[in-house]
Amino acid sequence: MVSGAKHFGTAPLQDVELPRPGTVLWLLGPTSAGKTTLATRVVADLRKEGIPAILFDGDEVRDFFGADFGFGADNRLRVVSILVHLANKAADAGFHVVVAALTAGQDAREHVRAHVRNLTIGYVACSTQTCAQRDPKGLYGKAMRGEIDTLIGYNSTYQPPDRPDLVLDTESHSLDELAARIAASYGSGRRAAPQPD
Ligand SMILES: Nc1ncnc2c1ncn2[C@@H]1O[C@H](COP(=O)(O)OP(=O)(O)O)[C@@H](O)[C@H]1O
Ligand SMILES: [Mg+2]
């Protein structure tokens, strides 16, 4: 079960006027596709313009909770539900949020679509072959040597999402090109939600 949308301790804040809510750009794709790289760049670009922006990364949630989370379907969904909660809170506070997370399971994707407000889903696309060549975390190497068997994209297929709002192909486009494309999608003044393709 995914923990729901309880708002712990927020009751006294209900009467306080919020800033204009921010947006959530959810970047999903296989390991080494470029999610963290692209998300970091987008947040940095927004901050350089004085726009409040924050990155939540799936690996960060895993690092923080450490051994509590494994790589089974339930744990993957729990990581996503934590990211959803954090993203909504930050967006409610006026931040433009970028989430970088594998988000491989259909249940996780449906949870994101159902619960994240002001959402744009960006599919960070890259072939398994190129991801395995990049392999900055050495995970494809471990999977090839049989040291892990949980790498989605190698040990099992990474299914592309059905209807992403943006397709961000990191094999055929540079980081600069993709960052510019995302910046343009935020609209003039970067205050509106990114627009779908
Ligand atoms: N166009 C691109 N966009 C993003 N990353 C790219 C691109 N081209 C090459 N890369 C490289 O691919 C790797 C992606 O790693 P990372 O961002 O950690 O992926 P992920 O977070 O999806 O696992 C990095 O080494 C990055 O430099
Ligand atoms: Mg990453």
pLDDT tens, position by position, 137-184: 999 999 999 999 999 999 999 999 999 999 999 999 999 999 999 999
Position 86, amino acid? L
Task: For residues 1-19, give the mean pLDDT.
Answer: 60
Centroid of ligand 2 to alpha carbon of 10 (angstroms) = 31
In the chain, the percentage of residues whose pLDDT exceeds 90 is 75
Q: From the CA of 102, give the closest atom in ligand 1.
A: 22
Centroid of ligand 1 to alpha carbon of 17 (angstroms) = 39
Residues linked to residue 56 through DSSP beta bridges, in sequence order: 99
Please report the pLDDT score of residue 19 as a whole number: 73
Tell me the pLDDT band of 192, cut-offs 50, 70 and 90: very low
Q: According to the 3-state scheme, what is the secondary structure of 109-122? A: HHHHHHHCCCEEEE
Q: List all residues whose CB is within 6 A of at least one atom of ligand 1.
A: 29, 31-38, 100, 124, 134, 136, 170, 173-175, 178
In the chain, the percentage of residues whose pLDDT exceeds 70 is 86
Task: For residues 21-36, give the mean pLDDT.
Answer: 97
Centroid of ligand 1 to alpha carbon of 35 (angstroms) = 6
Q: Who contacts 61 (Cβ-Cβ below 8 Å, separation ≥6)? A: 69, 79, 82, 83
- To test the ligand 1 pocket, which listed residue (26, 31, 63, 134) has its Cβ within 8 A of the most ligand atoms? 134
Whether residue 127 contacts residue 121, with contact meaning beta carbons closer than 8 Å, is answered with: no
Tally the residues of the chain.
Answer: 197
